[in-house]
Amino acid sequence: MAFNSTDILAYPIVGNSIGEYIVALVIFVLAIGILKIFKYWVIRKLKKLSYKTKTDLDDFVINSIDKVGWPFYVLLSLYFAMMFIKIPEHIGTFMYYFILLSIIYYAVRILQDVIDYITHKTIQRRREEKGEEDTSVIELLSRILKFSLWLIAALLILSNFYDISVLIAGLGIGGLAIAIALQSVLADIFASFSIYFDKPFKRGDFIIVGNDMGVVKHTGIKTTRLESLWGQEIVISNQELTSSRINNYKKMEKRRIVFKCGVIYETSTEKLKMILKIIKDIFDKIELADLNRVHFKEFGDFSLNFEIVYYVNSSDYNKYMDIQQDINFAIRERFEKEGIEFAYPTQMVFIKKDEQ
């Protein structure tokens, strides 16, 4: 019995004719070919063009698309081809879920790349514009967002198999229990966000918190570390920092200084008035120091006291101490030259002798 080509193409095999299988195969090969051209020619051309531009955004977009692997293209081509033939329902369902998993996987990968790109740009901009070196909070937010993507992806996949409303309700109750158990830790984490965005201090600032003082070395997710003036490390929880009054000396533009000096009671009125001029002359020669006032303030227990107030136009504590030292040396030198004596704690006893 002779078969012509039409009969051969119409010959049924497992619910489909040979012709239908050939059409599906052609569709599969064409899809693979088109995707291969897209993968190796179009993307390669776009890469070469992106290298010539000043922005790196186009490089990022093209590289993200290029990360989609060949297994996804093969599955997609196979799915298109199977639309032209009759297949068992369970095979079609399997292919649908397999492709869905692939799409979700690569979508999450691309979105993670987007988060990494934004994170990198944000860190780079803050370092260039504001000189920030501590980026732990931004990196934490990045990790939380990327973890959330995988959690959402898992829920999307499960929603195609089961009714996840009960699961979500259970997760809500479980999340509440975890939040209560980790209340202190979460409070410190949110406090770290508050510190980062509100910026009451930054790395390198000298701060005083309660009885603790030191230079900020690191602000982490849970704690902030200070290096004290005595060299030891002080670790303070972020929650405590945000609920305390902080004195930040690094943000001072100038420092107000008040100090006293006393001379003996035997000093003449003429020399007392001379002291006012001596102090003013000294400050005229001191850089970064502006005299605010100098007054003969009071008659002390054992000295005549002068109060001197001035401003140091610097927040550097060492610079302030250098200036105060220069002032002290200058006052000492001028007083010695003019014969003015500093007072020190003394007591003079007067004895009245009765007349015989």
Question: Which pLDDT does position 197 carry in this prediction?
Answer: 72
Instruction: Give backbone dihedrals phi and psi of 245, rounded to 5 degrees, phi first.
Output: -85, 125
Residue 4 has pLDDT above 70, yes or no: no
233 shares a domain with 138: no
Tens of pLDDT along 30-50? 887 887 777 777 777 777 777
Highest mean pLDDT among 103-117, 183-197, 318-332: 318-332
Give every CB contact of residue 166 below 8 A, 6+ residues apart in sequence. none
103 shares a domain with 26: yes
Residue 74 has pLDDT above 70, yes or no: yes
331 shares a domain with 283: yes
Answer whether residue 56 is part of any domain: yes
Q: What is the mean pLDDT of the chain?
A: 79
Answer whether residue 331 is part of any domain: yes
Q: Higher-confidence residue: 180 or 231?
A: 231
Question: Which pLDDT does position 276 carry in this prediction?
Answer: 95
Q: Higher-confidence residue: 127 or 27?
A: 27
Q: Higher-confidence residue: 305 or 69?
A: 305
Question: Which pLDDT does position 93 carry in this prediction?
Answer: 75
Domain that holds residue 334: 255-338
> Nearest CA to 150 among 118, 104, 96, 98?
104
- Our measurement of the distance from residue 154's CA atom to the centroid of its chain's CA atoms, rounded to an integer in Å, reads 29
259 shares a domain with 233: no
* Percent of the chain with pLDDT strictly greater than 90: 21
Question: Which pLDDT does position 168 carry in this prediction?
Answer: 59
Q: Which two tokens stand for residue 288?
A: 């970064």
Of 73-87, 223-237, 285-299, which range is least confident?
Answer: 73-87
N residues, the chain: 356
Question: Which pLDDT does position 296 carry in this prediction?
Answer: 95
34 shares a domain with 119: yes
Cβ pair 45, 37 in contact under 8 A: no
For 210-288, strand residue ranges (E) read 212-219, 223-227, 233-237, 246-248, 255-263
Answer whether residue 168 is part of any domain: no
303 shares a domain with 240: no
Q: Higher-confidence residue: 99 or 260?
A: 260
**Rounded to 5 degrees, what angle do the CA atoms 68, 74, 77 make?**
115
Q: Distance between CA 309 and CA 210 in Å, rounded?
A: 27
Q: Distance between CA 45 and CA 47 in Å, rounded?
A: 5
Question: Which pLDDT does position 135 carry in this prediction?
Answer: 67
312 shares a domain with 206: no
CATH number at residue 199: 2.30.30.60
34 shares a domain with 19: yes
Number of domains in the chain: 3
Question: Which pLDDT does position 224 carry in this prediction?
Answer: 86
Using 50, 70 and 90 to split pLDDT, how confident is the model at 132? low
Residue 144 has pLDDT above 70, yes or no: yes
DSSP per-residue codes, 73-131 = HHHHHHHHHHTTS---HHHHHHHHHHHHHHHHHHHHHHHHHHHHHHHHHHHHHHHHHH-
203 shares a domain with 134: no
37 shares a domain with 156: yes
137 shares a domain with 93: yes
DSSP code at position 287: T
Answer whether residue 183 is part of any domain: no
Answer whether residue 230 is part of any domain: yes
Question: Which pLDDT does position 54 carry in this prediction?
Answer: 72
* Percent of the chain with pLDDT strictly greater than 70: 81
Tens of pLDDT along 257-289? 999 999 999 999 999 999 999 999 999 999 889
Question: Which pLDDT does position 1 carry in this prediction?
Answer: 45
40 shares a domain with 151: yes
Answer whether residue 218 is part of any domain: yes
